[in-house]
Amino acid sequence: MAADPPAREGDLRSRSVPPLETARLVGFAVRAGVILCVGAAALAGVIKLDDTLGVYDSAADRNASIGFRERAHPQPVVAGSGKVLEDARLWMPEDAAYRVVRGRRYAETGYSYWAQYFLNGFLLPRRQTTSEEARWVFCFGCGAATLGRLRVFSGEGDGLVFGKVRS
């Protein structure tokens, strides 16, 4: 086996890339990669923009189709009739205290346990109390016997009653 003769000037085997050219080549490759990535992201954004706007558009249409009462009040199963809640908000003074009573038929009403907590936020600045001294009352699942001295201001027949204790 013969050994390769030493490389001479002008021979292709003797060509090595100088460090400065290597740095330029790497810099060019990085720039080209960044440009390709940004271009691909922009293209994907333009292609998917229509779908994205469609999602927001349908949500806006859904929100525009409902009225104030549907926006302000949750589903009746959460906290009762929106009419009763709105009547309570309008009748009860802002500095009043109220209590929540669960009648014997509470389990039949299907109201959420969280209804009383919804009332806390909805009726601000009024405050919820457990005191028997509270004159304003919400009664979930109450019958006529439970109501006693309560003057009913609003009730929808679905088990939620709002009223004031007669003095």
User: Please, which contacts does 147-154 make with residues 24 or more away whose CB atoms are closer than 8 Å?
Assistant: 153/87, 153/88, 153/91, 154/83, 154/84, 154/87, 154/88, 154/91
**pLDDT: is 38 or 119 the higher one?**
38
Domain total of the chain:
2
On whether residue 2 sits in a domain, the answer given is: no
* Pair 161, 85 in one domain: yes
Is residue 85 within 8 A of residue 79, CB to CB? The reply is yes
Looking at residue 107, its pLDDT comes to 65
Question: Is it the case that residue 108 has pLDDT exceeding 90?
Answer: no
Looking at residue 23, its pLDDT comes to 85
On whether residue 1 sits in a domain, the answer given is: no
Give the least confident one: 17-26, 100-109, 156-165. 100-109
* Pair 82, 54 in one domain: no
* Pair 30, 59 in one domain: yes
Question: Is it the case that residue 115 has pLDDT exceeding 70?
Answer: yes
Is residue 142 within 8 A of residue 101, CB to CB? The reply is yes
Question: Is it the case that residue 29 has pLDDT exceeding 90?
Answer: yes
* Pair 155, 108 in one domain: yes
Looking at residue 32, its pLDDT comes to 96
Range of the domain at 106: 73-165
The domain boundary, picked from 40, 64, 88, lies at: 64
Question: Is it the case that residue 37 has pLDDT exceeding 80?
Answer: yes
Is residue 162 within 8 A of residue 96, CB to CB? The reply is no
